[in-house]
Each structure stands twice: as C-alpha cells, then as structure tokens.
Amino acid sequence: MATMIREAQELVQRVREGDVRSLGRAVSLVEEGGPAAMAVLSACHAANAAAKTVRIGFTGPPGAGKSTLVNRYARLLRAQGETVGVAAVDPTSPFHGGAILGDRIRMQGEQEDAGLYIRSVATRGMLGGLAAATADICTVIEASGKSRMLIETVGVGQDEVEIARLADVTVVVMVPGMGDDVQSIKAGLMEIADIFVINKCDREGAERVESDIRAMQSLAETDVWTPPIVRTTAIAGEGIAELEAGVQRYLAQRADGLQRRRQSAWGGRLLQMAQRELLRQGEARGVNAANMEMQAAKVAAGANPYELVQDVVRNALGATEMHLDHLGVAVKSIAEARRFYETLGLRVEHEETVEHEQVKTVMLPLGESRIELLEPTAADSVIGKYLAKRGEGLHHIAVHVADVDGTMQAMLAAGIRLVNAEVRTGAGGHRYFFVHPANTGGVLLEIVGVKTA
C-alpha cells in the first residue's frame, strides 16, 4: 500500500510537470478503477488544491454540434494563452476506452499541443456512473495544471444533468430546426443553463429558438443572473469569442456563488464516493462473485438466502478489524438450549448442519458478536466426545480476522500448535481453523474470516 501511494505521488508529480504520457497513464489507472485509482485521485486532489481550473460544461441534444463548438472554443482559449483539458462524455460511443473519439479526428493535429489534452470518458472499471467517472477524470486532467477544463456530454438525460452540475459554468447548446426545439428539451436542462448557445445559426429558425428561450426565461423567476443567449456557427468559428465573453461575465458576476456551487457539488459526490468505497471494500471481503457462487450452492441446498446475505455483509463490514466473532457453546440439544437464549431476547439468525464436523449449529447475534450453539449429530464427533467427557459448556471462542490464511501462516511460522493445519469452510461459508488450547491458556480458539477473492 505504501509503495502504491508513493508510486501514485511520483506519477502525479510527473503529470504536474507536464508529462503527457504520465497524464495518459494516470487517467487509465483511474479508469481501471483498481486500488491504484484511489491513490492517484488522492494525489491529484492534493495537487489541485492550489490550482484554479475553471470547469465549463457543455450539454444539449445530440446533433447540436457540441463537439465542433468545444473544439473551436478550445482553440480560441489556446490562442489566448489558456491551457485546456477536454473530457468528452458519450455513453453511446463505440469508442469507449479509446483516448480519442471518432469525431475528434479533426483535432488530431492539436494533440501535439502540450497545452491541450483531450480524453473521452470510459467507464470500464468505474463504479458510480458516468458523472462520477467524469468527475474523476477531470480531477486527473486538472492536476496537469490546465486553466480551463471543458466537459462535453451528449444527450439530455439525467446523467448529463448530473455531469453539468460538476461544472462552474454550464453551457446549454441548442440548435434550430428540431421541431418544438425548446419545449422538447427537458425542464431540468433549462434550469441548469448559465449560458445558452444557439449553434448552427446559419440554419433557418435561430430566431424561433431564441424567442422560445426568452419566453421561458420570462416565465421563470428572475434571479441575479439571466443566462445570456449566444449565437454561434461553430463550424465557421463564428460566435466563439462571444461565448467566451459570456463565460467571463458569468465568472465575474457570480464569483461569490462559485464556492457555494462547488461545495454543494461535493455533497453529492462524497455520498457517491463513500458508497463506491463501500462496494470496493466489500468486494475484497467476500461481497464478490466467487463467494456468492459458493453461497448459491448453500441456497440450493436449502439455506435461507436472506440470512446468508446478512451474514456475508456483516462479515464484510466487520472484517476491517479483529473482533470477537462468537462464543461456541456445546449443548446436548439446540432445541432446548435456544429456548433460554430466546427468552433472554436473542434471536436465531443462522441454522446449519456442518457435515464434515458432524455438528448442527445455530447462531444468535449478540451485539458485535454471536453465540453459537453446537449440537453433535454423531456421538463420536468432536462435540459428541466433548460432551461425553466434560458435559455441556463453553467449547470455544472465535476471533474474526481480516485474513484467515495470513493468520494461519504467521502462526505456523511461529511454531504454534494448530488443531487443523488447513483452513476449512464451515457454517455460513466462513473460513476457519482452530488453535490448540496448549497455546492459548487452555481455551480452544477458533480463527474465523471470510473467503477473499
């Protein structure tokens, strides 16, 4: 872990120094979404603390010419000495995973320009949807010190609205000749616009679009800012300077609101990030396909899937630290013994017969841990013999560890005597082994954990 963090910091340092290859590598690592992604993002965020990248989002219906508009705008910004990052988001693009979208080919010449970096947003390994993926990629590109970050989305769905919220300034791009143009655009999109662009103004109907927008604006409550309407013909480079003037005006007038906007964007993002992290950690601790397949076999054999899932998740959440997993109590009859514990207020959560141990078990949750009642299914089983020799009573205590195999290896290496020298699978799919009482002060100790992928 420490190595991974150091490597991420070194990579991000090269990104900050302007190494384009390192930037590409950093974005790819984040796209892959593995443990390195978190380290890279964290290092990028630290690098961005001092940076003042302005994020400008472009959204609007497909066919509005947003790519051309963004390309032209990026060129204008470069000519003015700004450095520019572009994240192009197209959930339908067949080019996902590639660095350059098909319609970016005309910008290829500019890929040589170190002050311009274009990347399509791929979501291969990323959890949390397109907006989260886009936010992460922006964070990485911004670490290269770009003064402007342009985010381009296709379409008018919920994803696009969410992505637009990532931006400091949101540009909604409309186009003439789309039937009931403005009415067909979702109200949500109208609400997020800081600037309207009517692109392809060489076409018939630009007037109509503009008057429709104005009509809608007159209905809306007047805020301190009425989004200006900029007419462009991006393909000819017309209106691009006016767009930049609109952006500058917005930034100047709304400077006080910018911080609040970023903060409110973080509220939603943090929830997403925490959920994503929960998923990631869960996956490493048994909430994964391999373990579920094992659990499915138990469901097929009659186990209760609702209880199984509770077990799996509890294990995943509890696996961060060592804790007392359960107390194993040997009893002659579970049916009889559980009556007392149920009177005490405990509830049986899991019931299972573990064939290879010749034992029937029930688990009764008790705070962070549980009481396990063990009833032999054969007189010559381990528990059967225990009962014959000692009578009913506390049989073992079980300690939950994150890494059962690692713990066993460490004990073997230390010469500790184990009851069984390999990890077994027991009730609830938990993996366990027993440490001989000779080492533990006379207590039979079970070490238990979940299967890790």
By the criterion CB under 5 A, which residues form the site for Co ion?
328, 372, 398, 446
By C-beta, is 114 or 394 nearer to Co ion? 394
- Minimum Å gap between C-beta 260 and Co ion is 54
State how far the Cα of 208 lies from the Cα of 138, in Å rounded to an integer: 35
Cβ distance to Co ion smaller for residue 195 or 435: 435
**Least distance from C-beta 101 to Co ion, angstroms?**
56
* Pairwise CA distance, residues 183 & 209, whole Å: 10
Q: Is 348 helix (H, G, I), strand (E, B) or coil?
A: coil
Task: Report the nearest approach of Co ion to the CB of residue 373 (Å).
Answer: 10
d(CA 353, CA 374): 9
Distance between CA atoms of residues 11 and 303, nearest Å? 48
For 372, other C-beta atoms within 10 Å of its C-beta total 24
Q: Which is nearer to Co ion, 134 or 369 (CB)?
A: 369
CB 193 within 8 A of CB 57: no
Listing DSSP states for 273-300 in one string gives HHHHHHHHHHHHTT-SHHHHHHHHHHHH
What span, in angstroms and rounded, lies between the C-alpha atoms of 31 and 124?
6
CA distances from 296 to 304, 349, 380 (A): 10, 18, 31
Residue nearest to Co ion (CB): 328
Closer CB to Co ion, residue 90 or residue 372? 372
Q: How far is the CB of 427 from Co ion (least distance, A)?
A: 7
* CB 396 to Co ion: min, Å: 6
> 141 vs 373, which CB is nearer to Co ion?
373
- Please report how close the Cβ of residue 328 comes to Co ion at its closest, in angstroms: 4
Q: Are 396 and 359 in contact (CB under 8 A)?
A: no
Which residue's CB is nearer to Co ion, number 72 or number 350?
350
At position 201, the amino acid (one-letter code) is C
Sign of CA dihedral 333, 423, 303, 316: positive
Minimum distance, C-beta of residue 294 to Co ion, in the bound complex (Å): 18
Closest to 11 measured CA to CA, from 134, 100, 28, 114: 28
User: Do residues 368 and 416 lie in contact, with contact meaning Cβ atoms separated by under 8 Å?
Assistant: no
Rg (CA), the chain: 30
- Residue with Cβ nearer Co ion (96 or 424): 424
DSSP 451: P
Distance in Å, CB of 452 to Co ion, minimum = 19
Nearer to Co ion by Cβ, of 31 and 446: the residue is 446
